[in-house]
């Protein structure tokens, strides 16, 4: 790397608080189906009760439906901008199907289109959302 490039990268990191690194990592996430051992190790602390699923549905409406659509088909208004939005009603979970893997995808994000929601939802709300998303599978 040239000295100028190193200085520019340092300036970008200083100004963005590291957001550039996060974005670069998200954009390099593999698009083909795969598993996440760290997510598989997570246990969902929220029992999948009717109340949990209702809370998850509310979080879905406020945070997810613009891209994933009203029923999770991946056909929301923002999806028409050209992104590849997953269909939650099929049996394909590109980033793993365990509750912990789904939690990790929502919390940490996986692409420029699917940004992290850690600053927008609490961990408990993400777990409720996971419980709701599991109800969408056919």
**Tens-digit pLDDT profile for residues 41-100:** 899 999 999 999 999 999 999 999 999 999 999 999 888 887 788 899 998 888 888 999
Whether residue 61 sits in one domain with residue 47: yes
Q: What percent of the chain has pLDDT over 70?
A: 78
pTM summary value: 0.76
**Pair (40, 73) in one structural domain:** yes
Q: What confidence category does residue 7 fall into, taking pLDDT thresholds of 50, 70 and 90?
A: very low
Are residues 55 and 1 part of one domain?
Answer: no
Residue 29's pLDDT band (cuts 50, 70, 90): low
Give pLDDT, residue 104.
93
58 and 20 fall within a common domain: no
Q: What is the CA radius of gyration of the chain?
A: 17
63 lies in the same domain as 95: yes
Does residue 91 share a domain with residue 56? yes
Question: What's the domain range around 56?
Answer: 33-135
Phi, psi of 90 (to 5 degrees): -90, -175
Q: Are 115 and 101 members of one domain?
A: yes
Same domain, 43 and 93: yes
Q: Work out the burial of residue 133: count CB atoms within 10 Å of its CB; fewer than 13 is exposed, 13-18 middle, 19 or more buried.
A: buried
Total number of domains in the chain:
2
d(CA 17, CA 36): 27
Contact 10, 76 (CB under 8 A): no
């Amino acid at each position: 790397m040239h000295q100028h490039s190193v200085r520019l990268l340092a300036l970008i990191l200083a100004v963005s608080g590291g957001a550039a690194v996060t974005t670069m990592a998200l954009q390099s996430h593999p698009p083909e189906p795969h598993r996440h051992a760290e997510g598989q190790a997570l246990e969902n602390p929220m029992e999948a009760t009717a109340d949990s699923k209702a809370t998850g549905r509310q979080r879905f409406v406020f945070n997810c439906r613009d891209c994933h659509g009203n029923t999770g088909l991946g056909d929301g208004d923002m999806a028409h901008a050209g992104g590849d939005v997953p269909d939650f009603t099929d049996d394909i979970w590109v980033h793993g199907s365990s509750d912990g893997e789904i939690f990790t995808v929502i919390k940490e994000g996986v692409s420029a289109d699917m940004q992290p929601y850690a600053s927008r939802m609490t961990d408990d709300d993400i777990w409720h959302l996971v419980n709701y998303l599991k109800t969408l599978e056919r």
